[in-house]
Amino acid sequence: MKVYFDVQQLYYLPQYTPLQNLFEAAGVNCIYVFYRHADLFSQQELVIDELGLKVKWVENEAQARQLYIDDKPGWILIGNNFEDLDEVHKYSKTGLLSHGIGPKACYYTVSDSATSVRFVEGPYRTERLKGLYPNLTFLDTGYAKLDPIINGELNHLKPSSWGLDDNKKTILYAPTFYPSSIECLPKDFAKEFSEYNVILKPHFFSLANTKYQKQRKLLEHWAQAENVYLAGINEINILPFMAVADVLVSDASSTLFEFAALDKPVVWCDFYRLRWAYRGLFSYRFKKRMDEDLYKYADIAVHAGSYKELKGCVDSQIENPGLLASKRAQYTMALAGKVDGKSGQRIVDYILTSSKNYE
């Protein structure tokens, strides 16, 4: 049996690799289908080499579709929209693993791609998706991306693994690319948080996309401080940094909910820079981009309304990490489902069982 992983973007990999290990233990052949990005090809090759992946290359979705029709793998796992799957489904089954659990509306609309099944994180979102797409199949498995950290596979890591001070508490600053808080932080941000380690783990696009060059310059400036580590473009997986961090600072990112699912404190930045096309009369565009869950679950975190409030919020959460523990537990069940380290196994068991029944 063969399982193909559709890798439109490098940052899908942390969703897939926990499953790969389980599949291979069951004797399944795992192939990653990479979309060649000319400006990122060297980074793609570096990550592939580091992880030792079996890879096939395509230029675009049309080539990927034809590859799947020609190769006829048992299953294809995708992380985002994939159009026109009817022909593919004559030979293969498809499963959707969303590449995030955040508050953006695309979390739901990605199911416009009618995969054989979508693996969902928690009962609330499962029921909501069933209501939106009554003819599709949804299975609540939990969020497999978190399995390695829940299972203790990263316990060996410390801040000093990245040249930081093991005697300091560690902030993980993981902003999204848009709308982002990065441009709202001053140049002396690192100095003002000098009593902490600061790990900068921006979204992949902040480092890779020329559109976000200003963000990259700020990140590189902060990284010059001795208490700061900036994750490189090839350091795709945020889990190692989550493992050592004491508090997360982020904005409208799925990372908020991922970190909270580990029962660790979160500071949510309510300040961010909007493009002109999303301000004033056009603010409806921003509201359309974000899901209604954005503020429904807002009290999973302490909120900083401005940069001036950020330091106090971080200090309070470091001193009282259990302050919002009950809210984190409540909302994690709704948005991420069971956090027991077995989500990937549930997905793999379903696929293997379905494959036997299909045969």
Structure tokens at 77: 């796992």
Based on its alpha-carbon atoms, the radius of gyration of the chain, rounded to whole angstroms, reads 20
Of 48, 25, 53, 26, give the one whose Cα is nearest residue 37.
48
Distances in Å between the Cα of 139 and the Cα atoms of 15, 26, 129, 151, 336 are 16, 21, 10, 22, 13
Distance, in Å, from the CA atom of 60 to the CA atom of 28, rounded to the nearest integer, reads: 26
Distance, in Å, from the CA atom of 222 to the CA atom of 308, rounded to the nearest integer, reads: 18
For residue 36, the 8-state DSSP code is P
Strands 197-200 and 75-78: unpaired
What mean pLDDT do residues 341-358 have? 88
Domains of the chain: 2-145+341-358 (3.40.50.2000), 152-335 (3.40.50.2000)
Q: What is the pLDDT of residues 218-234, one digit of tens each?
A: 999 999 999 999 999 88
Q: What is the pLDDT of residues 193-219, one digit of tens each?
A: 999 999 999 988 888 888 888 999 999
Residue 286: pLDDT above 60?
A: no
Q: 284 versus 247: which is more confidently predicted? A: 247
Residues 6+ apart with CB under 8 A from 25: none
Distance, in Å, from the CA atom of 131 to the CA atom of 138, rounded to the nearest integer, reads: 11
Structure tokens at 54: 């079996």
Q: What is the pLDDT of residues 70-104, one digit of tens each?
A: 999 999 999 988 999 999 999 999 999 987 775 55
Q: Is 214 helix (H, G, I), strand (E, B) or coil?
A: helix
Helix runs in the chain, H state only: 13-25, 41-51, 61-71, 106-109, 123-132, 147-150, 189-192, 204-208, 213-222, 239-244, 255-260, 283-289, 293-296, 307-319, 325-335, 343-358
* Contact in structure between 354 and 145 (CB atoms under 8 Å): no
